[in-house]
Amino acid sequence: MGNIVLPLSYLIGSVTFIIGLKMLSHPDSARRGNLVAAFGMTIAILATIFLFRDHEGNALGNYLWIFGGLIIGSIVGTLAAKKVQMTAMPEMVSLFNGMGGACAMLISVVEYHHNPSPATGTLIVIVLGMIIGTVSFAGSIIAWGKLNGKIKDKTIPAGQAINFLLFAGIVALAVAVIGGFSTAPALFYGILALAALYGILFVMPIGGADMPVVISLLNSFTGVAAAFGGFLYDNPVMLTGGILVGSAGTILTILMCKAMNRSLKNVLIGSFGGGAKAAASGGGDKQQGSYKEISMNDTAVLMAYASKVMIIPGYGLAVAQAQHACHELEKILEDKGVEVNYGIHPVAGRMPGHMNVLLAEADVPYEKLKEMEDANDEMGQTNVVLILGANDVVNPAAKDDPASPIYGMPILEVEKAEHVIVNKRSMKPGYAGIENELFFKPKTSMLFGDAKKVLQDLVSELKQV
Amino acid sequence: MDSIAQLFTDPATYRLLTIVILSIFLGIEVISRVPSVLHTPLMSGANAIHGVVIIGAIIVMGQAPSDDYLALTLGFLAVILGTLNVVGGFVVTDRMLEMFDKKKKKK
């Protein structure tokens, strides 16, 4: 009986992954899709634990260890995922992705440790799985560090040449190990070390704002690493699950790049390091003009007597956890007869859809969230635009400065509105590390401070107007 | 050359190869048009799915000789990390998507 149930369980697993991914790509069914895939995963895992037999028909042992690991992992994973702040979710995903990569790496290491000279085919699978898993692990940890600000953007001199050399080194060592030229374990662990270094240096120079794209790419890497595990154990569910994520992840990565109107190559190689320098030298003279500040009181009056206000949220809103205060402001303005809408840039915040999720949490009605095109259409009739901690997505350089690294990215054209009020904590440039000319325009007024505090003050001012 | 020919002549390998090729196309087809709002949850969901690597970890763990402490330790670590990937991945995705549910009810 057992020998039928196991393949059947794997088949169910594979099918639920496909259906799950399909459902995840539609807003109405997304949440159920996630549960469907989780259900299939549970079945596949349980079936493996109890029904797996090796070639000699032996069942698995070490149940205490297996369940110990599963229980610890489940408790820690659930707590981490439940506790994490809305704003920190992308880095959490990156961290979990790294765990998957590390898992694939460890599997290869243990298999190699069991048998350092297996059949060539098996050895290829072990080595490749280890390389990709390690790159994904190391890269994800760097991406995680970048997103939570622990690791700063760094351009490494001759970084591309070093990366190329590392890559060549990995290939050479892999050929030596697989070809059987040397059976020294040091070689195998040498590959591991190089792969880890490669993962770190690969992500290091990429700007923090591009991290979601990188995470998505590393996500598909881990998928491929999992698929190598499927080859190793002749396991169909690992193979389908891994490859599906590998290919779907690649497509998703490309889609994300498209949303920013950039190519994947541009994100990975033409990272902001080189581009920002060009912008600084090209546009240095016209920037650093003078900006003007606006008082809380003036802002309140300006907004209260506007007929149409557009709020443009960005990462600053997310950091300050100001979504509820923002909804407060919207309500009090609506009570005064002002029409309030939100202009949502597709890549505002640290991940696509970040702002929608945040504002939905604060119960902002769905209809008020305007997508970029609609928001730009309405901009001309808008009296006041209030920018809350957004920067690069409203930077006019994306439209008129070909030297700018974000040139070509569609932006919210706030300059079409009558007044622009920018709330920021300081004049520091945004995540892409480039100056924003918008702040120096005559139409623009700056309102410095933490988004949450500013919004609360604004609400109390408005009550007195 | 022999090993390449083997990909097609060995039935087991050929079967795996077929699965790989078909899965690649399937992955591309399934994710053809996704609204940008869903990019992150989808990435997160896919992230949880590749946690299927846990199955490999379970097999490694289950086959480790009980006196091989290195294999036991690394295998144990692999099971923990794999589980983190699966469980954490699905839970975090669910939390992201919870927001969409709320939004729809308001509608």
Residues of A in contact with B97 (CB under 8 A): 30-31, 34
The arithmetic mean of pLDDT across residues B18-37, rounded, is 85
The rounded distance, in Å, linking the Cα atoms of B2 and A396 is: 59
**Average predicted confidence (pLDDT) for chain A:** 86
For A147-179, write each residue's pLDDT tens digit: 888 888 777 777 788 889 999 999 999 999 888
Distance from CA of B9 to the nearest CA of A (A): 14
- Put simply, the chain A residues between 65 and 84 with a CB less than 8 A from any chain B CB are 65-66, 68-70, 72-74, 76-78, 80-82, 84
CB contact under 8 A, A243 and B27: yes
What is the band of A194 on the pLDDT scale with cuts at 50, 70, 90?
very high
The rounded distance, in Å, linking the Cα atoms of A67 and B76 is: 10
- pLDDT at position B5 over 60: yes
- pLDDT at position A200 over 70: yes
Comparing CB atoms, the residue among A62, A82, A354 nearest residue B61 is A62
For chain A, percent of residues with pLDDT exceeding 90 = 39
Residues of B in contact with A73 (CB under 8 A): 79-84, 86-87
What is the band of A431 on the pLDDT scale with cuts at 50, 70, 90?
low
The arithmetic mean of pLDDT across residues B13-31, rounded, is 89
Task: Return the pLDDT at A163.
Answer: 87
Q: How, if at all, do strands A384-388 and A419-424 pair?
A: parallel
* Residue with more model confidence, A430 or A30: A30
A250-259, A404-413, B76-85 — which is least confidently predicted? A404-413
For A325-356, write each residue's pLDDT tens digit: 899 888 898 988 899 999 988 778 767 777 88
Task: Return the pLDDT at A272.
Answer: 46
Do residues A383 and A419 lie in contact, with contact meaning Cβ atoms separated by under 8 Å?
Answer: yes
Residues of A in contact with B82 (CB under 8 A): 73, 99-100, 103
Q: What letters, b where the CB count within 10 A reaches 16 and e where it falls short, cover A30-69? A: bbebbbbbbebbebbbebbbebbeeeeeeebebeebbeeb
The rounded distance, in Å, linking the Cα atoms of A20 and A39 is: 10
- pLDDT at position A288 over 70: no
ipTM of the complex: 0.91
Structure tokens at A332: 């009090």
The arithmetic mean of pLDDT across residues B66-75, rounded, is 92
> What is the chain A residue with the closest CA to B39?
A352
Question: Long-range CB contacts (< 8 A, 24+ apart) of A335-340?
Answer: A336/A304, A336/A462, A336/A465, A337/A307, A338/A303, A338/A304, A338/A306, A338/A307, A338/A308, A338/A309, A339/A307, A339/A308, A339/A309, A340/A309, A340/A310, A340/A311, A340/A368
What ranges in A25-85 are assigned the alpha helix state H? 30-51, 63-83
Active site residues of A: 392
| Backbone phi and psi for residue A446, each to the nearest 5 degrees, phi listed first | -100, 140
Task: Return the pLDDT at A168.
Answer: 94
CB contact under 8 A, A24 and B63: no
The rounded distance, in Å, linking the Cα atoms of B9 and A348 is: 52
Structure tokens at A340: 């309030």
A61-65, A258-262, A374-378, B45-49 — which is least confidently predicted? A258-262
Comparing CB atoms, the residue among A80, A102, A354 nearest residue B81 is A102
Residue A366 contacts B, CB cutoff 8 Å: yes
